[in-house]
């Protein structure tokens, strides 16, 4: 009997516990917010339509010389001629400096005398060998001596040629390191020649704008020092690697022949107005959500927000080109996406 009462008490306790838990669950569920499926979320929208995407971007850079070389002699000695001054224009092949070559010429003169003696010996040995009056080895030694002497003369002639230092290309003497009478060694700098007949304007272009440029493209270059003047430029290099800020170097070559108005180190700028596409489907930048690799757009269809993946192309400050995923006339959400899920009822404002 006692066991029956214990069993009844246990069943009663379990029943009371279950009733309490069920009652608490109902109270919690009553406090939880349940969105009204018929309530619409207010959003702003825009229409995907065909546009001429174009933008005007200005980039600033500095001019660098087309070519610059430090003149270094291939011989050593005293400078006996130095017909240049800083700022002077020189043509290709123009004499920059002449080193003393007197000792080298004396050595050539002595070798020429020796060579003449060997050549006379050669004639005598040729006659003696024909009559078997001397061994043929003497003739061979004389021939080798002639070839050796001729090689020495050629070597000295090359050294003499190296004492004449000329400009490798036309340019301006931008630095002179020595004076007439100075003694220079092999490879020591004498002067610097800079070619500014054409200059290279180097600008850093952000990643989002690098597709506006192509090698061979013609651009107009302007400078602050010559307001209102424009110089014809052509893109000759687009950097293959950007810096830490995702900027890429673009090199524009500018013709500066004639009056040489521009100088290396000056600032220059380009205003690149490029029509990126013809008529292309585009949406406002605010419509794009997700990542750059997986862009998405909410499209209003039948009063609901439908999430769609898209492929984007060219971009301006205001619009993205849509390559796939949308069609002209689609109504895209531009504001309020944070409150949306796929299928959310919306009210376009």
Residues 134 and 227 in one domain: no
Residues 287 and 270 in one domain: no
Expressed as residue numbers, the domain containing 269 is 58-65+195-277
pLDDT in tens, 290-304: 887 889 999 999 889
Structural domain includes residue 11: no
User: Which of the listed residues 189, 207, 232 is the one where a domain comes to its end?
Assistant: 189
State the Cα–Cα distance between residues 256 and 171, nearest whole angstrom.
12
Structural domain includes residue 295: yes
Which band of pLDDT confidence, cut at 50, 70 and 90, is reported for residue 116?
very high
User: Which of the listed residues 248, 277, 306 is the one where a domain comes to its end?
Assistant: 277
Residues 171 and 257 in one domain: no
Check which CATH number belongs to the domain holding 262 and give it.
2.40.30.170
- Give yes or no for a contact between 179 and 191, defined as CB atoms under 8 angstroms apart: no
* Average pLDDT value over all residues in the chain: 85
- Give yes or no for a contact between 85 and 96, defined as CB atoms under 8 angstroms apart: no
Give the other-Cβ count within 10 Å of 215's Cβ: 11
40: Cβ contacts below 8 Å, ≥ 6 apart: 303, 345, 346, 347
82: Cβ contacts below 8 Å, ≥ 6 apart: 96, 97, 98, 176, 178, 179, 180
Check which CATH number belongs to the domain holding 126 and give it.
2.40.50.100
Residues 182 and 199 in one domain: no
User: How many residues in the chain?
Assistant: 349
pLDDT in tens, 172-228: 999 999 999 999 999 999 999 999 888 999 998 888 778 778 899 988 898 888 888
Give the residue-averaged pLDDT of 162-179. Answer: 93
State the Cα–Cα distance between residues 136 and 317, nearest whole angstrom.
92
Structural domain includes residue 225: yes
Residues 334 and 256 in one domain: no
Give the other-Cβ count within 10 Å of 114's Cβ: 15
pTM listed for this prediction? 0.56
Residues 209 and 110 in one domain: no
Q: Which of 278, 273, 271, 234 is nearest to 256 (CA)?
A: 234
Phi, psi of 229 (to 5 degrees): -90, 145
Angle at CA of residue 210, ends 208 and 215, nearest 5°: 165
User: Which of the listed residues 234, 258, 277 is the one where a domain comes to its end?
Assistant: 277
Distance between start and end Cα atoms, the chain? 76
Structural domain includes residue 222: yes
Residues 103 and 149 in one domain: yes
DSSP 8-state secondary structure symbol assigned to residue 131: T
- Give yes or no for a contact between 299 and 305, defined as CB atoms under 8 angstroms apart: yes
- When divided into structural domains, the chain yields a total of 3
Give the other-Cβ count within 10 Å of 65's Cβ: 21
């Amino acid at each position: 009997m006692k066991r029956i009462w214990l069993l009844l008490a246990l069943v009663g306790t379990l029943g009371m516990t279950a009733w309490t838990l069920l009652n608490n669950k109902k109270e919690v569920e009553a406090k939880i917010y349940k969105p009204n499926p018929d309530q619409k979320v207010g959003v702003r929208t825009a229409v995907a339509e065909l546009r001429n995407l174009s933008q005007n971007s200005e980039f600033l850079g500095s001019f660098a010389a087309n070519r610059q070389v430090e003149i270094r002699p291939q011989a050593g000695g005293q400078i006996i001629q130095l017909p240049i001054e800083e700022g002077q224009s020189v043509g290709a092949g123009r004499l920059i400096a002449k080193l003393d070559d007197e000792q080298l010429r004396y050595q050539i003169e002595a070798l020429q005398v020796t060579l003449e003696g060997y050549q006379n010996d050669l004639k005598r040995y040729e006659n003696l060998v024909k009559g078997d009056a001397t061994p043929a080895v003497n003739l061979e030694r004389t021939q080798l001596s002639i070839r050796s002497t001729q090689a020495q003369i050629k070597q000295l002639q090359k050294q003499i040629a190296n004492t004449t230092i000329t400009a490798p290309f036309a340019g301006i003497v931008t630095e002179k390191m020595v004076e007439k009478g100075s003694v220079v060694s092999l490879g020591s700098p004498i002067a610097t020649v800079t070619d500014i007949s054409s200059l290279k304007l180097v600008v850093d272009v952000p990643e989002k704008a690098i597709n506006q440029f192509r090698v061979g493209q013609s651009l107009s270059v302007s400078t602050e020092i010559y307001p209102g003047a424009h110089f014809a430029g052509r893109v000759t290099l687009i950097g293959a690697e950007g810096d830490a800020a995702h900027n890429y170097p673009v090199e524009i070559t500018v013709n500066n022949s004639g009056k040489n108005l521009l100088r290396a180190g000056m600032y220059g700028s380009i205003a690149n107005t490029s029509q990126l596409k013809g008529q292309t489907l585009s949406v406002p930048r605010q419509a794009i959500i997700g990542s750059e690799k997986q862009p998405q757009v909410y499209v209003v269809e039948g009063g609901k927000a439908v999430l769609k993946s898209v492929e984007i192309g060219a971009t301006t400050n205001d619009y993205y080109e849509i390559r796939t995923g949308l069609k002209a006339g689609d109504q895209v959400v531009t504001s309020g996406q944070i409150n949306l899920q796929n299928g959310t009822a919306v009210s376009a404002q």
